[in-house]
Amino acid sequence: MAITIRDVAREAGVSTATVSRALRGLPHVDPQTREHVARVAAELDYVASANASRLASGRQGTVAVITPSLSRWFFATVLAGIGEVLQAEDLDLLVHSVEDASAPSLPSERRLRGRVDGVIAVALPSGDAQDLRGIGVPLSLIGATADGVPSVTIDDVDAARTATAHLISLGHERIGLIGSGDDASADSAGSWRMEGFREAMLEAGIPIDTRLHADGGFTVDGGETAMAALLARPDRPTAVFALSDEMAFGAMRSLRRHALRPGNDVALIGIDGHDLSGLLDLSTVAQPVSDMGRMAAEQVLRQWRGDTPEPVRAPTSLVARGSTLPVAEAVALA
Amino acid sequence: MAITIRDVAREAGVSTATVSRALRGLPHVDPQTREHVARVAAELDYVASANASRLASGRQGTVAVITPSLSRWFFATVLAGIGEVLQAEDLDLLVHSVEDASAPSLPSERRLRGRVDGVIAVALPSGDAQDLRGIGVPLSLIGATADGVPSVTIDDVDAARTATAHLISLGHERIGLIGSGDDASADSAGSWRMEGFREAMLEAGIPIDTRLHADGGFTVDGGETAMAALLARPDRPTAVFALSDEMAFGAMRSLRRHALRPGNDVALIGIDGHDLSGLLDLSTVAQPVSDMGRMAAEQVLRQWRGDTPEPVRAPTSLVARGSTLPVAEAVALA
DNA sequence: TTGTAGGCGTTATCAT
DNA sequence: ATGATAACGCCTACAA
């Protein structure tokens, strides 16, 4: 068995209560005593049992992150941002990836209850937030919102409108869209981006042709498949809006296969501001992803302090690159 | 306060011991009783206190992953692989990112002791493995090895030799290298790759010019800086070997800035088999990254079963693409 | 400032 | 098949 607080107490010639107070930096401890206890504890290489202290105190020192993916860029980057803040606060990071959308947050709610004192949910399907709130600890959402729940999002509608308007400003009218199947129903980032797309098209008076919508499942491979489907159409789009950069990357792969050049043969734009979008010369609407992770973590910390953080809207910015060349240039290069 | 096992026991008219046995599926419980208890527990929405049961049983149901980064592709992908296996076993995933190499694993060792019953360390600096072993739970290493510790690696020396030999076979002699500063000292994946590079050069009888070595810190941005430094030299290399795909991506960015084309003007190869290496037409030596995560997780599970897994060597394969065009073609395109 | 002791919620041993 | 009841290791009033 490992060293317990009693061993330290005995060795130091004090009570366990004093050891506990001394080691945790609580007041009402003689400096001499504290130092002595600390020394003994160090000598014995004592480490308090997290289970025991958590059981006794009710504090968990742990924040759980619920995310649909660990490997996709957006989520990995958000996680890194969150981890940064938690690490600084010496908090544990418990990761729950819920790849399978069929297994909703209900199990998460039960698994997490009593084990964490904060939860950050990324891209949580709307509605599940209430379940999560049942855990009874501070909650913060990223890429989703819920009434009365702190959140960090971008203005997805606006971002998508901007992206679409950019394509339109270049003279495109047959604009394809690569999104995800569930975008229509859930009010998720995907659905908001769809909405922004619609608004932009409407404003421009361009009729929407849903036959030019393809499902990319928010993955690179999915984006490739989706683009392939679009290219297979007789009335191939002249421009494509992918709801994420990774899907746009996949689309690029497909274009390459078809010996088509993004920007010249088919205009292409995504959303994210992915690390590699610059290298791939992909136009995009960038969002400050790791910052968003950090902000969500801060929201949790603030709630512990009794604060009630307002939902935060992170800024986005259009970054026009080679994949959306002005038509003149595209023609010149052709 | 939440519902406790006692509430369930009282409500079900049995002892807490019976509730515990019934709910955990232990034997020696009347089917009738078990079902009744389960029903009551469900009605009360009872969730056992993890802290209490862990304290009492000594089992933590948690595996910690120690990684240098959460956002870099390799680590995020490894993590996803690990998460997959753990999730299937209903185990908690505790993430410890130790971006700062200056803060060694010692703190990790103390933080983790008693809280986890398995540890997976990714790209752990050699030597720190022993500290981690002090936790006294099954350990598995990814991208590193240590005597008597299960691990999952590729043959880094061989991978680097293959990559370098590939460049040499194309006729290159002035070969630059983008690595990391600490590669020289530590016996890490980086240092092994350096070794493979040396071996290949030696075999080909090409003298090594360390002035053509640049530090890319294993990041995209670092790779860009490194390549810029190489290009600034009067005796610019005709080919560059980046120790990771992400650094190679950065190198590509630099080439682009200098209006140079990978494969035509400067040959370029990396190591990893990054998702986007195909799209970027980057030659690489691919490794099965998420599989490696899965395998490491399996090694931990096996150790629980009393097994002593042998170190695993994952296979790699050279993937030649446009960034290492045969010289003939490169000339033809010029 | 320091010590005493009850309690946190389960598990597991030993009876019954 | 079930029930009592010590641990598990720490925290925290309450006393001293």
User: CATH number of the domain at B156-286, out of 3.40.50.2300, 3.40.50.360, 3.10.20.340, 2.30.30.110?
Assistant: 3.40.50.2300
The residues near A146 (Cβ < 8 Å, ≥ 6 apart) are A126, A129, A130
Name all contacts of B7-10 with Cβ < 8 Å and 24+ positions apart.
Answer: B7/B44, B7/B46, B8/B37, B8/B40, B8/B41, B8/B44, B8/B46
Nucleic strand D near CB of residue B2 (< 7 Å): no
Q: Is B233 exposed, middle or buried (0-12, 13-18, 19+ CB in 10 A)?
A: middle
Is residue B102 predicted with pLDDT exceeding 50?
yes
User: Which among A51, A253, A291 is the top mutation candidate for probing chain B, defined by the most B β-carbons within 10 Å of its own β-carbon?
Assistant: A51
User: Closest by alpha carbon to A73, among A275, A323, A296?
Assistant: A275
Does residue A73 contact residue A129 with C-beta atoms inside 8 Å? no
Per residue of chain A (334 residues), give pLDDT as tens. 799 999 999 999 999 999 999 999 999 999 999 999 999 999 999 999 999 999 999 999 999 999 999 999 999 999 999 999 999 999 999 999 987 655 544 578 889 999 999 999 999 987 788 889 989 999 999 999 999 999 999 999 999 999 999 999 999 999 999 998 876 667 789 999 999 999 999 999 999 999 999 999 999 999 999 999 999 999 999 999 999 999 999 999 999 999 999 999 999 999 999 999 999 999 999 999 999 999 999 999 999 999 999 999 999 999 999 999 886 665 555 4
Cα separation, A31 vs A38, whole angstroms:
10
Give the gap in angstroms from C-alpha B111 to the nearest C-alpha of chain A: 8
Pairing assessment for the beta strands A317-319 and A283-286 based on DSSP bridges: antiparallel
Does B47 contact A110 at a Cβ distance shorter than 8 Å? Answer: yes
CATH level 2 (architecture), domain A62-153+290-314: 3-Layer(aba) Sandwich (3.40)
B50 to chain A, any CB pair closer than 8 A? The answer is yes
How many Å apart are CA B295 and CA B29, to the nearest integer? 37
pLDDT tens for B211-269 read 999 999 999 999 999 999 999 999 999 999 999 999 999 999 999 999 999 999 999 99
Spanning CA of B15 to C1' of D5, the rounded length in angstroms is 12
Q: Say which residue the tokens 């079902």 belong to.
A: B35
- Two tokens at B155? 């043959």
Mutate to test the interface with A, among B82, B98, B227, B275 (most CBs of A within 10 A): B275
Per-residue pLDDT tens over the stretch B254-269: 999 999 999 999 999 9
Nearest to A49 among B55, B76, B94 (CB): B55
Q: Dihedral sign, CA of B70, B76, B78, B84?
A: positive
Write out the two tokens for B124.
């752990």
| CA distances from residue B105 to A85, B126, B128, B148 in whole angstroms, order as listed | 19, 11, 6, 18
> Model-level pTM?
0.94
Positive or negative torsion for Cα B134, B135, B136, B139? negative
The Cα B313–Cα B319 span in angstroms is 19
Per 3-state DSSP, chain A is made up of helix, strand and coil in percentages (nearest 5) of 45, 15, 35
**Kind plus residue range of the DSSP H or E element containing A314:** strand A312-314
* CA A326 distance to own-chain centroid: 32
Q: Pick the residue with more confidence: B313 or A327? A: B313
Residue numbers 18-77 of B with CB closer than 7 A to any atom of strand D: 18, 21, 27-30, 32-34, 52, 55-56
What pLDDT digit, counting tens, does each position of A61-119 carry? Answer: 999 999 999 999 999 999 999 999 999 999 999 999 987 655 544 578 889 999 999 99
- B5-57: CATH, from 2.60.40.1080, 3.40.50.300, 1.10.260.40, 3.30.70.250: 1.10.260.40
Q: Which nucleotides of C are covered by protein (CB under 7 A)?
A: 1-13
Range(s) for CATH 1.10.260.40 in chain B?
5-57
Listed in order, the ranges of chain B carrying CATH 3.40.50.2300 are 62-153+290-314, 156-286
